[in-house]
Amino acid sequence: MNSTSAPIVEARNLTVDFAAGRGMIRAVCGVDLSLKPGETLALLGESGSGKSVTLRALMRLHPKSAKIGGTIQVDGEDVLALSPSALRAYRGKTVSMIFQDPGLAFDPVYRIGDQIAETVMRHEGVSRAEGRKRGLELFERVRIPSPERRLDNFPHEMSGGMRQRAMIALALACRPKVLLADEPTTALDATVQIQVLLLLRELQREFGLAIVFVTHDIGVAVEIADRIAVMYAGRIVESGACRDVIRNPSHPYTRGLLASRAHGTLGKDERLHAIPGSPPDLSAPPPGCAFGPRCDNFIETCAADVPPEVTVTTGHMARCFRLGALAEQAEPLAAE
Amino acid sequence: MSAVANDPRDRGGAGTPLLDVRGLVKHFGGKGGLFGRTGSVVRAVDGIDFSVAKGETLGIVGESGCGKSTTARLVMQIIKPDAGDILFDGEAVGSAALDLKAFRRQVQMVFQDSYASLNPRLTVEDTVAFGPRIHGASAAASIATAHDLLHRVGLEPRRFAGRYPHEISGGQRQRVNIARALSLEPRLLILDEAVSALDKSVEAQVLNLLLDLKRDFGLTYMFITHDLNVVRFMSDRIMVMYLGKVAEVGPSEPIFEKPGHPYTAALLSSMPSMDPDNLTQEAPLTGDPPNPINPPSGCRFHPRCKMASTLCSHAEPELAEASPLHLAACHLVDPQSGHPRLAAA
């Protein structure tokens, strides 16, 4: 949107450690994020890459035993310093979140309309009738059929796609500035997934929302995101404008992910270019670049140190020592 | 195909399909619902015919609730069909010629949840050796088979044989499930969303493994998934299901290039575009997949179909030829149906 506006979300050197057995596991190690109002950032990664942990840190949803390091600024507030009451005001009002399983976001024993109304009453001090009115507006906005009647539904009375819409309505009830989305379409059928993605795109434009969208699906990231950040073993290994990352993937992991997709242009009896091995165990991460053991372009330097951010083009970076060598053997991976 | 032709277990010859399913029906519920009320009937599978040729991969796709997993479970005889015949290599399953135990030895299944489908108290080695042991192999021979297969699916027996399911990753667990499924040397492998829960980089490895195994063991696959890219990559033929019926079936290429059923077309254009300069602008379908409890009259897809006419709401289309070997259940495919759009064209 406005390229000169100040970022609304800014995380610097974010780390998250969890107690595990005798030691600590570092799930996120030094993530920098910056998001402008009205911008969508996709955090793309596999399980254990730290994408959801990063997202939850932005809302301080981790248990007390988790240690969050670094700084998080959202809308001018230092999130890590918020008092419990300020945190309650922050959640839902400044930043809200939607999840993969809407069943977990709603209380099963209250009507959905009442849950939305309660949120509005709590944050804005309005009457219940006023809160319900807001609920109705939002249900119309997210295009739930017969919204008036649906407000009186219990969560189990709705289908999966409709529950996901209702959760989006709940998340937007207090007009937040930032929406955090944790794989909100993963459990949906493709036909419903595309509807929800288009709805989010539309709402974002209308409300000027900044969205951080966590997904493991490159196709979904391309549909929704302005920028993509690829995470691997707790670090952002590549980030840039969606177009740059997809057209010119630079980190060997990103390239591997794109090459390993089954897609229409593959011939019969062709094999997929799978990345060998599996993601590292975070309790014993490999030294240096965490992708090193799975990388075709591994050299000794890779195990010596964590690669720094290297600029590929303006706004597009990758953490890899071998970018120069890779650029020469680049084969354009054009989208089919 | 050559591996299949030389199979000594082959009875019907190359022309007989390995699996032939006729008029398969399964309804759930109905009589004796909760508290003795007459419950509603879920028409999970409502009269489907299909066959799987020897050595081919049949992909089955559809939204949730379309009956694809129920179909797999019916074929596997995990649940009993209400009606219909299942012929395996020309012989009726459960008949004197092919009892259930003999059938199960030849048909195996891999499920989506790699953890739930393994016994947590058996080591990897014992899991894979269990089937051969039950079917009469000696303990030593079963373990030897298990080690061979573990090696074959990429799990070094020396490292993995003694481990328990919770000690290995999801991708490795799914490899164990595949090894176990192969331990009885089946001819047909049913893969029900077998790679759906895996991370993308691991999914590609397992798909490659499945291709290798199919070639080396002369297997036939029924591959069920909701991922259209994966199904296109894996399948020779594809069956598209909608609300317990077959909407379209045929070779992969024509189905992807020129789908005969509007539902297939909508399903295909629901896939994310992967092109940042050409994003999807309009959802091809609105609303959720309808409920198989009270399927719509006529063509079950008509309430969501852009091409629907009054004909579609009362007459149910039969499967008709859209292109050679390629059938679609849509009035638009049948020139004699009288669909108004046919006259206009």
pLDDT, mean of residues B158-171 = 92
Contact assignment for A262 to B229 by CB distance below 8 Å: yes
Whether residue B256 is contained in a domain is answered as: no
With cut-offs at 50, 70 and 90, classify the pLDDT of residue A104. Answer: confident
Q: Compute the C-alpha angle A14/A12/A97, nearest 5°.
A: 65
Contacts of A232 (CB under 8 A, 6+ apart): A45, A46, A49, A253, A279, A290, A291
Q: Is A194's CB within 8 Å of B207's CB?
A: no
For B284, nearest residue in chain A (alpha carbons): A191
Distance CA(B47)–CA(A249), nearest Å, equals: 48
Same domain as B330, residue B203: no
Q: Would you say residue B328 lies in a domain?
A: yes
Domain holding B168, by residue range, is 2-242
Q: Is residue B283 part of a domain?
A: no
Check CB contact under 8 Å for B288 and A266.
Answer: no
- For the cut 60, the answer to whether the pLDDT of residue B36 exceeds it is no
Mapped onto helix, strand or coil, the DSSP state of residue A319 is strand
Cβ distance of A223 and B273 shorter than 8 Å: yes
Are B270 and B137 contained in the same domain? Answer: no
Residue A300, number of CB atoms within 10 A of its CB: 9
Distance from the B68 Cα atom to the nearest Cα atom in chain A, whole angstroms: 14
- Whether B233 has its CB under 8 Å from any CB of chain A: the answer is yes
Contacts 24+ apart (CB under 8 A), A199-207: A199/A142, A199/A143, A199/A165, A199/A168, A200/A168, A200/A224, A203/A141, A203/A142, A203/A168, A203/A172, A204/A38, A204/A40, A204/A179, A205/A38, A207/A172, A207/A175
A197 close to B (CB below 8 A): yes
Question: How many CA atoms within 13 Å lie on the side-chain side of A335?
Answer: 18
pLDDT band per the 50, 70, 90 thresholds, residue B199: confident
Q: How many structural domains comprise chain B?
A: 2
Size of interface A-B (CB pairs under 8 A): 132
pLDDT at B341: 87
Domains of chain A, start order: 1-94+179-266+307-336 (3.40.50.300), 102-175 (no CATH)
State the amino acid at position B22 in one-letter form: R
Same domain? B84 vs B163: yes
To test the contact with chain A by mutation, choose from B198, B233, B234 the residue with the greatest count of A C-beta atoms within 10 A, namely B233
Query: What's the CATH code of the domain at B236?
Result: 3.40.50.300
As given in the structure block, the two tokens for residue A66 are: 């988790």
Q: Does B256 touch chain A (CB under 8 A)?
A: yes
% of chain B beyond a pLDDT of 70:
95
Instruction: Please tell me which residue of chain B has the smallest CA distance to A271.
Output: B208
A283/B contact by beta carbon, under 8 A: no
Same domain, B303 and B176: no
pLDDT digits (tens, 9 = 90+) for B45-101: 999 999 999 999 999 999 988 999 999 999 999 999 999 999 999 999 988 888 998
Query: Shortest CB distance from B226 goes to which of A46, A189, A216?
Result: A189
- Shortest CA distance from A257: residue in chain B: B201
Q: Are residues B293 and B238 in the same domain?
A: no
Position A295 confidence tier, pLDDT thresholds 50, 70, 90: very high
Per-residue pLDDT of A302-312, as tens digits, reads 999 999 999 99
* B255 domain residue, yes or no: no
Give me the residue label for tokens 């670049």: A289
Say if strands A40-44 and B19-29 run parallel, antiparallel, or are unpaired: unpaired
The DSSP letter of residue B317 is P
Residue of A nearest to B204 (CA): A274
Å between B174 CA and nearest CA of chain A: 13
- The answer to whether the CB atoms of B289 and A191 lie below 8 A apart is yes
Across the interface, whether the CB atoms of A263 and B274 are under 8 A apart is answered: yes
Residue A264, pLDDT score: 66
pTM value is: 0.90
| A45 within 8 A of A101, measured Cβ to Cβ | no
Express each pLDDT in B126-139 by its tens digit.
999 999 999 899 99
Q: In what order do the strands lie in the sheet with B220-224?
A: B107-110, B188-192, B220-224, B57-61, B237-242, B245-251, B326-328, B320-323
The structure tokens 């079936």 sit at B249
Instruction: Say how many C-beta atoms besides its own lie within 10 A of residue A18's C-beta.
Output: 18
Give the confidence band of B1 by pLDDT, cuts at 50, 70, 90: very low
Q: CA–CA separation, A301 vs A286, rounded Å?
A: 13
**Are B320 and B176 in a shared domain?**
no
> Do B268 and B226 share a structural domain?
no
Judge if B266 and B183 occupy the same domain. Answer: no
Q: Do the beta carbons of residue A222 and residue B275 sit within 8 Å?
A: yes
Max Cα distance, chain B (Å)? 71
Residue B174 shares a structural domain with residue B310:
no
What CA–CA distance (Å, rounded) separates A244 from B177? 39
| B294 and A CB contact within 8 Å | no
- In chain B, which among 44-103 make CB contacts under 8 A with chain A? 63-64
Interface predicted TM-score (ipTM): 0.87
In a domain? residue B250 = no
Please check whether residue B284 lies inside any domain of the structure.
Answer: no
The pLDDT score that the predictor gives to residue A267 is: 64
Residue A172 has a pLDDT of: 94
B211 touches chain A (CB under 8 A): yes
Where do the H-state alpha helices sit in chain B?
A: 2-5, 68-75, 100-106, 124-134, 139-152, 157-160, 170-182, 200-217, 228-234, 252-257, 262-269, 310-314, 340-344
Contacts of B194 in chain A (CB under 8 A): none
What average pLDDT does chain B have?
91
Strands A67-74 and A9-20: antiparallel
Contact A98, A105 (CB under 8 A): yes
Give yes or no: residues B128 and B99 share one domain: yes
Report yes or no on B208 lying in a domain. Answer: yes
pLDDT tens across A224-269, in order? Answer: 999 999 999 999 999 999 999 999 999 999 999 998 887 766 666 6
Judged by DSSP in three states, B95 sits in coil
A175: phi then psi, degrees, rounded to nearest 5: 50, 60
B276 interfacial to chain A (CB closer than 8 Å): yes
Q: B281 lies in a domain?
A: no
Give CA–CA dist B251/B254, Å, rounded: 6
Q: Is A295 in CB contact (< 8 Å) with chain B?
A: no
Confidence of residue B234 (pLDDT cuts 50, 70, 90): very high
Is B227 found in the same domain as B117?
yes
Helices (H), chain A: 51-58, 84-93, 102-105, 112-124, 128-141, 147-150, 160-171, 190-207, 218-224, 242-247, 252-259, 300-304, 323-328
- Based on the fold, state whether residues B103 and B165 are members of the same structural domain: yes
Cβ count within 10 A of residue B53: 19
Q: Who contacts B123 (Cβ-Cβ below 8 Å, separation ≥6)?
A: B161, B162, B163, B164
Is A46 in the B-facing interface, judged by CB distances under 8 Å? yes
Pairwise CA distance, residues B221 & B52, whole Å: 8
